[in-house]
Amino acid sequence: MSLTMRPGPLAGSPGDEVNFTIDGPRHRLFMHDFPRRVRAVFAGETVLDTERGKLLHETGLLPVLYVPEADVRTDLLERTDRTTHCPFKGDAAYWTIRVGDRTAENAVWAYPEPKPESAWLRGRLAFYWKPMDAWYDEDEEVRGHLRDPFHRVDARATSRRVRVLLDGEVVAETERAMLLSETGLPNRLYIPAADVRRDLLRESPKRTVCPYKGEATYWSLDGAEDAAWSYEEPLVDAAKIAGHLSFDHEALTIETALGTAPPPGR
């Protein structure tokens, strides 16, 4: 993500503040080894088990894992008549996974005859993430998608004064927020739950999963659905935002001002 989306160097237009040019197509492909074992499980069967996966970074897209055919249970695959064309990679063929009475339609694809400029895709298959029952990076289950090694999350304590208002009413106010920076995304301010008017919030059924932060729980206000979210049990990189809420909704006014930072060493 960070390489192929702005301001990454392989984005279609990375920006003007560089001292280099890239002599190549506007749409760029970059593939490299993924350093760990990856497995995918469907209907109780391990359909993919590899230590030879490669991540393909492609302008404007999330990276995709391609694995050698030898590391896939091809006896569980059935070729379908679906095809798609990519002007940069070639014509893709698709397979359905069948285990007993369960199927994952067109869940696997490959480029049997890739374009010459992407010939390194030959003999490799890719899987759609969601149809699988589970994915493992080494022995840890991964949700969302594999982590991009060029993507990072940083959470830092900040003395910024933050106020969140809805129709002039203060919903949250703090001087002890956490500022979370994540590659390719705007900074987010996370407010301690103790500094939020929890009586104004109601829990939403919405849930999302971030491979870098964990599972998010959402909260709504009257007239502002899913206006806040929190990570109750965040992953290691985002551990500092546990017990904090972040707000973003067109109905909200979010005011920030620089606070008085403590002296160095304090």
Report the alpha-carbon distance of residue 57 to residue 151 in Å, rounded.
12
Q: Which residues, in sequence order, are bridge partners of residue 111? A: none
pTM for this predicted structure: 0.85
Same fold, 29-142 and 153-257: yes
Token pair listed for 161: 């004064």
Q: CA 216, CA 153: separation in Å to the nearest integer?
A: 15
Look at the domain 153-257 and name its fold: 2.170.150
Whether residue 261 contacts residue 209, with contact meaning beta carbons closer than 8 Å, is answered with no
For the chain, domain boundaries: 29-142, 153-257
Q: Which fold is adopted by the domain 29-142?
A: 2.170.150
Digitized pLDDT (tens) for each residue of the chain, 266 residues in all:
578 777 777 776 666 677 777 777 788 899 999 999 999 999 999 999 999 999 999 998 889 999 999 999 999 999 999 999 999 999 999 999 999 999 999 999 999 999 999 999 999 999 999 999 999 999 999 988 999 999 999 999 999 999 999 999 999 999 999 999 999 899 999 999 999 999 999 999 999 999 999 999 999 999 999 999 999 999 999 999 999 999 999 999 999 998 766 656 55
